[in-house]
Structure 1
Amino acid sequence: MSSDPFFSDGGLRRGRLGTAHLVFFTVAASAPLTVLGGGVTTMYAVSGNMGAALGYVLLAAVLAVFATGYAAMSRYVANAGAFYAYIANGLGRAGGVAGSAVALAAYNAIQIGLYGLFGAIMKDFMTAKAGLTLDWWVWALLAWVFIAVLGVLRIDLNASVLAVLLVLECVAVLIFDLVAFAHPAGGSVTTGGISPGHLFGAGFGAVLAFTIASFTGFESGAIYSEEVKDPRRTVARATYIAVAFTGLFYAFSAWALTVLTGPENAQQASIDAGPGVIFGALEQYSGVVVADIANVLFITSVLAALLSFHNGVARYLFALGRENVLPRFLGSTSSRSGAPIAGSLIQSVLAVVVFLAFAMTGRDPVIDLFTWLSGSAAVGVVLLMTLTSAAVVGFFRGRGGPESAWQRAIAPALGTVLLTAVLLVLLFNFDALLAPDTAGYLKWLLPAIPVVAGVLGLIWGGVLRSSRPDTYRRIGQLDEEGLHEPGLHSAPEADRWAASHR
């Protein structure tokens, strides 16, 4: 394949991304304006929990504990398969294959589900503003073409597109926040929306379920670790910045909504108007033009998330193809852009087949396609982080190095316990993410998707161990030339580097 003018076996292009790029990818994946307009309003409507804003701070704290060990391990493992490589080096190679299967199920699910959300909001906006009435899947198809094209171009170009979209949507969210605090219900700002006593009350489980979904995309930094300028520092730095920004920004904006409506009225306002709580306030207090711009940015925020998840899935497929865990052709990159072209094209084909299947069967793009798949993805992401946190403990056991006991064992062990608790809460409250009339069996089937994927991955890992031992030994490792710096090592190389620096 190396002779092909479009495909190359040369690997991903290195040194193109810095800390800011990784922050953009990570935060863009969670789509701030989408979280505020869709996630926060739905969270209040479903849970009725007045203190729900603090849920973002709580989960950010859990992720910060997890990130401590994760960041320490990122100095030794740089792999486009991200959590897959971490799990393989900490819990065993078969476990790594299981983790990769969970990741592919989760990230494909959320990426494909977003096409339903995009199609629905684009349809409503164009009908209202231009009188153009087209089915949601037509708009989804146009977005799919845009994402498919960008997915095979240079990664720094993708990052630049995401940066512009992310900055603009954050500005729109800040304008809403200012409007809310300038026009509080009852004439004064209330702190009821950030009261711990309100958070740990009725609806707490549903709050955790929705806040977890808002942090989907947390792994993005590690996915691009082979393409950054300084992997020893960049991934860790970007992860901490993204967690802090996302948790505080979402919490502040969720609180702003309760200030605007009054904490006791947030649920009913969200039930009655949904995203209209946000855009109606902008139109009332900032004018129609500002509200229309915010609506456009709401649409582009979903587009930004689509692009971020598409790139993540493509790189997972690239890593698995490069190591022969999946067919080798998936490990090819574009000879022109350095993008993982085969993985990108495969993801594009899968996405269009699934969302068109939902369209042909008459399923609702939001209630069915988006909600079902994003809920399933949330379970998969938390499961993946739980396994990764446990893998950090396994990786550092018996190894020397400059890391403290807190980084090597205490924080990752605590993170594993906390994430397990979050996972259990999500599983037992999964029905909070579904419409009341949704078939009961889906409460169990949808969260089972990433779990079943993990089991199948574990079985495939066992098959590779017995039938292709050479491939099995390379799982989660890097064997490309040029990876000589600390932070760009496979696990065996990391051991040698640590030993030489004792």
Structure 2
Amino acid sequence: MAETAPSGTATARFGTFAGVFTPNVLTILGIILFLRTGWVVGQAGLLGALAIILLANSISLLTGLSLSSIATSMQVKAGGNYYLISRSLGLEIGGAIGIPLYLSQAISVAFYIIGFVEAMSAVPWLGTLDPQVLATSVALLFVGIAYVGADFALKIQFGILAILVAALLSFFAGGWGSIDSPTLAASYTDGVSFWVVFAVFFPAVTGIEVGISLSGDLKDPSRSIPRGTIASILVTAVVYVLAAVWFATHADPMTLILNTAAMSEIALVPVLILGGVAASTLSSALGSVLAAPRTLEAVSTDRVVPRWMANRMGSPTEPRAAVLLTGAVAVGVIWAGDLDVVAPIITMFFLNTYGMVNLVAAIEKAVGNPSFRPTFSVPVLVPALGALGCYGAMFLINAPATVAAIVVTYGIYFLLRRRALAGTWGDVRSGVWTSLARFAL
């Protein structure tokens, strides 16, 4: 099967644990866990917080099952979700999703770095620095690391994972002598509702994008993506549920709403929480700064956007032009918004992408495309529910923004249609006609 997508790296280097599970976990257990989970519990109450966590993780799990099904039906190369969608529904639809997907990943870099700077404001000598200057400096440092290569970035992730585990153990080891009855009901402040809280929380579960975006660097993508993705979703969902319960039984709602450092006050060793915040937010930013350029490289190699964006600038493995462009986007966002402004934007972008992944899996399964033969098969109801959950959540969070997102997606689609982009692979559209012909006979 001929392809125009980049093969990613000169040699596939990473297995399931290093290439999918660990990057996903480090991204999912990030800034939302340390700085916003307590706020979620304070606003929504324990029952509402658990509902938000379970709903978000259900959407993530359904999407993970869908992308695992798609990934095991083809030879997966670089580009992550863009690659899966474009090879299933064609370049026009793939591009209409790939461009917003890239932007959401690039914006995520800024999101995590802004969170890091917010957390570090508690450190006396860092708190005196201009937050945007500090955030820009961190962003440029990470762009430099990504420019050098993914090998170095993924090597340091195991040290970051150890710090994260130590921080979580400190959190759950603290407060055993002061367990109170949790506040179950919501205590929403002005302008806040269930769906506003959901929109702030949802970026926490978008970390599965990192592993799939490194597909071109995996030794066996069709094996690693399903195993690593589903395992990371389940493990981190348990962590978030336990964290919500621990917050609810150790602080009253207003304390959780107003005090973003509540986790440190509960922890047995507070300084470990600060280390965990730094490690998790920076690792999440690093994961995004690795994922975004690879998505852009795949989109560019397919000529959806200008080819110069896929220029590796002398590197045999790294999409350096895309890394520099990602850095520019991240720095622009750092100077334009704060954490609670950026989070809902990322949520809408990712829900749109996840909805499309589920639609692809549902359509492939429903039409009986003869070229769609996944080794990891799921019932058509799974992706159908996933798509319904994604688009339903988008409308409930912000209906006008949802309409705008759909209009932008279709606008990109029709622009790409006019360019008459052609791929050398078969997609689901040919499968539909084949299925109709078989039915007619």
Shorter-chain TM-score: which interval? 0.7 to 0.9
User: Size of the alignment, in residue pairs?
Assistant: 417
Whether 1:43 and 2:40 are equivalent positions in the alignment is: yes
1:500 paired residue number: none
How far apart are residue 204 of structure 1 and its match? 3.9
Alpha-carbon deviations, 1:63-84, whole Å to 9, x = none? 3233223211102152332222
CA distance in 1, matches of 2:310, 2:301: 4
Whether 1:383 and 2:352 are equivalent positions in the alignment is: yes
SS at match of 2:11: coil
Whether 1:473 and 2:428 are equivalent positions in the alignment is: no
SS at match of 1:59: helix
How far apart are residue 143 of structure 1 and its match? 0.7
CA distance in 2, matches of 1:213, 1:104: 15
Q: Are the aligned partners of 1:39 and 1:214 in contact in 2 as well (CA < 8 Å)?
A: no
2:256 paired residue number: 270
1:230 to 220, 224, 239: 220
The one-letter code matched in structure 1 to 2:325 is: I
Alpha-carbon deviations, 1:402-429, whole Å to 9, x = none? 558962623222222222222223225x
1:185 to 164, 179, 190: 179
1:30 to 25, 28, 31: 28
Relative to 1, partners in 2 of residues 1:104 and 1:234: Cα closer, same or farther, differing over 3 Å? same
Structure 2 gap segments, 5+ residues each: 1-5, 432-441
Alignment of 1:289-308 (within 5 A): 290-308=269-287
The one-letter code matched in structure 1 to 2:348 is: V
How far apart are residue 305 of structure 1 and its match? 1.3
Q: Are the aligned partners of 1:221 and 1:235 in contact in 2 as well (CA < 8 Å)?
A: yes
Q: Are the aligned partners of 2:113 and 2:285 in contact in 1 as well (CA < 8 Å)?
A: yes
How far apart are residue 99 of structure 1 and its match? 0.4
Relative to 1, partners in 2 of residues 1:19 and 1:295: Cα closer, same or farther, differing over 3 Å? same
How far apart are residue 153 of structure 1 and its match? 2.4
2:3 paired residue number: none
How far apart are residue 46 of structure 1 and its match? 3.4
Alpha-carbon deviations, 1:306-342, whole Å to 9, x = none? 1111111101111012111111122233644611111
SS at match of 1:339: coil
The one-letter code matched in structure 2 to 1:101 is: I
1:151 to 138, 146, 149: 146
Whether 1:348 and 2:327 are equivalent positions in the alignment is: yes
Aligned residues: CA RMSD: 3.0
1:423 paired residue number: 394
1:175 paired residue number: 170
Relative to 1, partners in 2 of residues 1:426 and 1:90: Cα closer, same or farther, differing over 3 Å? farther
CA distance in 2, matches of 1:353, 1:206: 25
2:57 to 56, 60, 63: 60
Further displaced range: 332-341 or 225-234: 332-341
SS at match of 2:49: coil
2:412 paired residue number: 457
Structure 1 gap segments, 5+ residues each: 1-8, 359-367, 429-443, 466-471, 478-489, 496-502
Alpha-carbon deviations, 1:15-36, whole Å to 9, x = none? 211111211222222343x223
How far apart are residue 218 of structure 1 and its match? 2.2
CA distance in 1, matches of 2:215, 2:162: 23
CA distance in 1, matches of 2:389, 2:408: 23
Further displaced range: 99-108 or 232-241: 99-108
How far apart are residue 51 of structure 1 and its match? 4.2
2:132 paired residue number: 137
How far apart are residue 450 of structure 1 and its match? 4.7
Relative to 1, partners in 2 of residues 1:114 and 1:383: Cα closer, same or farther, differing over 3 Å? same
The one-letter code matched in structure 1 to 2:414 is: I
CA distance in 1, matches of 2:404, 2:108: 12
Alpha-carbon deviations, 1:450-472, whole Å to 9, x = none? 5454244213312321xxxxxx1
